[in-house]
Structure 1
């Protein structure tokens, strides 16, 4: 059995020792073993419990709510991860919408043209919305990611997402199950694109989640040219959840 000291868990996950101590004190995550010297030792099962905690936290649950959910044991880690995956996918779309709007404005201005009133209002609304939920440091981090990728790569990914949703819609309209080979191929590529954009910063993810919860998911996604209806959204979610479980 592989056992990890609390310092090793903190170092390899990015959590602080203080946070792990706090989880222990409130009964959320207690190390299964102790060394002869009294140090906490964590098992694989402990790490799975920790993953549940962080996934639920990223989904917007308070520590008190998480404690109740873990005690009820109604959801498996796979269920929680699939919900987190869908949330991150939605958040990715939100970032891409703002990137696209700002890119359009930049292109017009560079060409000496004037943007329309609707374009300006749209980009302003998205910018203000992001500023409400992100810290200055987080906005700088997002800007650095965009700069590192470059406009060509961003546009390429944006176009690929559009094509993926179009293909998903065609499969759904044809009556194909989300588990069919074609849907699973699209789902796997979607997972790869999500992995490409997620930095794993829990605070940044929480800011995204706060925006999604407060503004309303349908309202935020409705600003995207990749916006889908609830039925198609559920179809894509099912396909991606299945692909994730088979990885």
Structure 2
């Protein structure tokens, strides 16, 4: 069966002008011509058009598509598989959008009247989460499910901390330290203790100023919480370190603190992937861990020994670390192997 250009345009949803352009640049040349010169397209031409349109949906330019199709034996199965994967992603996104709209619909049924700005902000926030988290991760993240109606517990805590900060209360104060402990406890709870979710939340927070404005957690407020939480740990470490050691630790503890969640996330990924402590990825993780540890602990083995003793003695030092015993056991073994020559 052969199709004229007008028929192919009608059935494919393209314009005749587009098909003429494809012919002119050599991207899709019809296999036959009628006696009157009309273009005639056969089954192979239409299969090639399918590939072209699929790759256009993937965001490729026409020149890139032409280069790709010029390769010998370009498999159509690969293109179709990619289309299926893309559609699966669109289906998941549509399902999440449906859930959002259903929640908003429920608000309307309950007599609540969201303003237009509320609808737009909700959709913006949900889309923002979609950029950073997979569907499985979103299902395990209560913060995502609470974006339609902010969690009153978090809203109250953020307000209390902002009031302290705006009043000039130093983060080292007892009040700020108590609130920072509540913050970390709630964050561990609402991320299921998974450092991978924390690392992605941090990345989203840093990259999306509109999120900071919406939830009320500015970079300054987050840093205030981290300084207060660090001071809680310093007061515990004071019982185990010399004055010089604690001074060094206070001066350096917070400088690279934001690197820990991502490192913890990478360790969790390695554990889930079945990595062994002697494997090259585990050794690399151990080197990164030691580098971060030494950035605030220094290089004295005796200091390291005192810090390890404090960690084993004081359960409070583990709060907000997203580390568990299996992770620590894995890293201790990996560190021993990392010290060995490769």
- Give TM-score, length-normalised by structure 1: 0.49
- Give TM-score, length-normalised by structure 2: 0.36
Report which of the two structures shows the higher radius of gyration computed on alpha carbons: 2
- Higher relative CO (Cα under 8 Å, sequence separation at least 6) belongs to 1
